[in-house]
C-alpha cells in the first residue's frame, strides 16, 4: 500500500515518482490496474519492470507515458544498465502513444550529449524538466479550455461527457480533459460530469470516477452504449476527451469509443473537444490513416463479458477521429479551431 507521506496536499498519490533510497534509485508507480479499491505502488528497479508496468497499463496515459519513458532512461543510467538498449525497449513498449517515444528521446539525447561522469545526472535532469513542463502544460490547458467552454456554453452550468481517463493519473499535473473539468468544478461552473465507463478496461468507471469522487465533483457513471440516449435527451453540453497521438492534419487517436462519440456529437451539434499537450502532436504522421493503432489481448474483452470458451474478440485500444469532427483541440499554447494542419502546426511552433 502507498505510504501516507507520499500523498499530495489533496490526499492523492502521485501516479509516478522518482526516489533514491540507500539501495539505489527507483521509479515508483501507482498501480492503476488496482484502482479504485486498492492503492498499491509498484517499485521499479530496472527497465524491464517498468516496461511490464507500461504494457499491463499499471502506468498509462500519453503524457505520463512520456514521463515514464524519460525516467526509465534515467533509471537505466543511474543503475549502470545498457542505456541504449533500455531506450529502445522503452520506446517500443506501446505503439500508439507518441509521448512515450518523445520522453525517451528527451532523456537519451541529454545522456548522449553529457560528459560520461555527468550522463546519468543529465538524463535525470531531462526527465525532471519534462515533468515540470507537463505540469505547467496541464495548468495552461485548463485555462485555455475554461475560456473555450465559456465561449461555447454561455452562462455556465456545464454538463460534460468524457471518455477514458484524463486527469492527474495520466499527467505530471492535473491532467488534460479532466484537468479542464476540474477547473470548471472549482470555479462553480460544472453542473454534471458524465463518465463513460470506457470498456473493456473501464478506465472511466475505475479511474475517472475515482478522481471525480476525490475532487468532490458532481458525476454520474454510464455504460458506453448509453451515451447516445444521453446526448439525444439534451443532457450534454460538450464532449471532452484526451489524445494519445494527434496527426499533422488534426486526426486524433484516443481511447476506443471516442470516434463514435464524435459522430454522435456532430449529429446533435454538440462541441467535441480534444485536450492534449503539443507533445502528443506528431507532425511526422500526416493523417489518421498513418497512425498505428495498438491491438490488445482479446482476453481483456472476454474476461469482462464472460463468453463461450474459444470466443475470439476484437480489441483495438484506440480509434481515430478525423479532424472535421473535432470542434477544437486545446493545447498549452492555445486553441486550434478550426482543426486544420496549418493551425495545428502554428501552435506547435
How many domains would you assign to the chain?
2
* CATH label of the domain that carries residue 177: 3.40.50.10470
> 206 and 69, same structural domain?
no
* CATH label of the domain that carries residue 62: 1.20.120.420
> 216 and 116, same structural domain?
no
Q: Please check whether residue 317 is in contact with residue 295, taking contact to mean a CB–CB distance below 8 angstroms.
A: yes
Task: Find the catalytic residue in 244, 249, 282, 319.
Answer: 244
- What nine digits make up the cell of 135? 505540469
What is the Cα 246 distance to its own chain's centre?
12
> 151 and 123, same structural domain?
no
Reported pTM: 0.94
> 127 and 144, same structural domain?
no
Taking the C-alpha atoms of residue 271 and residue 263, their distance in angstroms, rounded to an integer, is: 11
Three-state SS at 104: helix
Q: Please check whether residue 74 is in contact with residue 123, taking contact to mean a CB–CB distance below 8 angstroms.
A: yes
Measuring CA to CA, which residue among 36, 118, 21 is closest to residue 77?
118
Q: Is the Cα torsion angle 111, 47, 200, 311 positive or negative in sign?
A: positive
Taking the C-alpha atoms of residue 67 and residue 60, their distance in angstroms, rounded to an integer, is: 10
Measuring CA to CA, which residue among 124, 126, 193, 131 is closest to residue 165?
193
Q: Please check whether residue 158 is in contact with residue 149, taking contact to mean a CB–CB distance below 8 angstroms.
A: yes
Q: Please check whether residue 172 is in contact with residue 134, taking contact to mean a CB–CB distance below 8 angstroms.
A: yes
Residue 188: which residues within 8 A CB-CB, separation 6 or more? 156
Three-state SS at 313: coil
> 142 and 129, same structural domain?
no
> 174 and 311, same structural domain?
yes
Domain of residue 153 covers 137-347
Taking the C-alpha atoms of residue 272 and residue 340, their distance in angstroms, rounded to an integer, is: 15
Q: Which strand ranges, in their side-by-side order, compose the sheet holding 334-336? A: 219-222, 190-196, 158-162, 238-241, 272-275, 328-331, 334-336
- How confident is the prediction along the chain (349 residues), in pLDDT tens digits per residue? 444 445 555 556 899 999 999 999 999 999 999 999 999 999 999 999 999 999 999 999 999 999 999 999 999 999 999 999 999 999 999 998 899 999 999 999 999 999 999 999 999 999 999 999 999 999 999 999 999 999 999 988 999 999 999 999 999 999 999 999 999 999 999 999 999 999 999 999 999 999 999 999 999 999 999 999 999 999 999 999 999 999 999 999 999 999 999 999 999 999 999 999 999 999 999 999 999 999 999 999 999 888 999 999 999 999 999 999 999 999 999 999 999 999 999 999 8
Q: Which residue has the cell 475517472?
A: 208
> Would you call 244 a catalytic residue per the annotation?
yes
Amino acid at each position: 500500500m502507498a505510504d501516507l507521506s507520499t500523498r499530495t496536499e489533496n490526499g492523492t498519490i502521485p501516479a509516478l515518482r522518482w526516489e533514491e533510497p540507500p539501495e539505489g534509485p527507483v521509479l515508483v508507480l501507482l498501480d492503476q490496474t488496482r484502482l479504485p479499491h486498492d492503492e498499491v505502488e509498484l517499485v521499479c528497479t530496472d527497465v524491464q519492470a517498468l516496461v511490464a508496468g507500461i504494457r499491463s497499463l499499471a502506468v498509462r496515459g500519453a503524457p505520463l507515458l512520456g514521463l515514464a519513458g524519460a525516467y526509465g532512461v534515467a533509471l537505466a543510467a543511474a543503475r549502470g544498465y545498457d542505456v541504449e538498449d533500455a531506450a529502445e525497449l522503452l520506446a517500443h513498449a506501446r505503439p500508439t502513444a507518441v509521448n512515450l517515444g518523445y520522453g525517451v528521446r528527451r532523456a537519451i539525447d541529454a545522456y548522449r550529449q553529457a560528459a560520461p561522469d555527468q550522463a546519468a545526472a543529465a538524463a535525470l535532469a531531462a526527465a525532471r524538466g519534462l515533468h515540470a513542463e507537463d505540469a505547467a502544460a496541464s495548468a495552461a490547458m485548463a485555462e485555455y479550455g475554461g475560456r473555450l467552454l465559456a465561449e461555447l456554453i454561455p452562462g455556465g452550468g456545464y454538463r460534460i461527457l468524457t471518455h477514458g481517463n484524463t486527469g492527474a493519473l495520466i499527467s505530471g499535473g492535473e491532467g488534460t480533459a479532466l484537468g479542464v473539468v476540474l477547473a470548471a468544478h472549482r470555479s462553480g461552473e460544472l453542473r454534471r460530469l458524465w463518465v463513460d465507463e470506457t470498456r473493456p478496461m473501464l478506465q472511466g468507471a475505475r479511474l475517472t470516477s475515482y478522481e471525480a469522487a476525490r475532487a468532490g465533483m458532481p458525476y454520474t457513471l454510464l455504460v458506453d452504449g448509453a451515451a447516445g440516449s444521453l446526448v439525444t435527451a439534451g443532457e450534454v453540453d460538450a464532449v471532452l476527451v484526451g489524445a494519445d497521438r494527434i496527426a499533422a492534419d488534426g486526426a486524433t487517436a484516443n481511447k476506443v469509443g471516442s470516434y463514435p462519440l464524435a459522430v454522435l456529437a456532430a449529429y446533435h451539434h454538440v462541441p467535441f473537444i480534444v485536450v492534449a499537450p503539443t507533445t502528443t502532436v506528431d507532425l511526422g504522421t500526416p493523417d489518421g490513416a498513418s497512425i498505428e493503432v495498438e491491438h490488445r489481448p482479446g482476453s481483456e474483452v472476454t474476461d469482462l463479458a464472460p463468453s463461450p470458451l474459444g470466443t475470439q474478440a476484437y480489441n483495438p485500444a484506440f480509434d481515430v477521429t478525423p479532424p472535421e469532427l473535432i470542434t477544437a483541440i486545446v493545447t498549452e499554447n492555445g486553441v486550434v479551431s478550426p482543426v486544420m494542419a496549418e493551425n495545428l502546426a502554428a501552435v506547435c511552433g
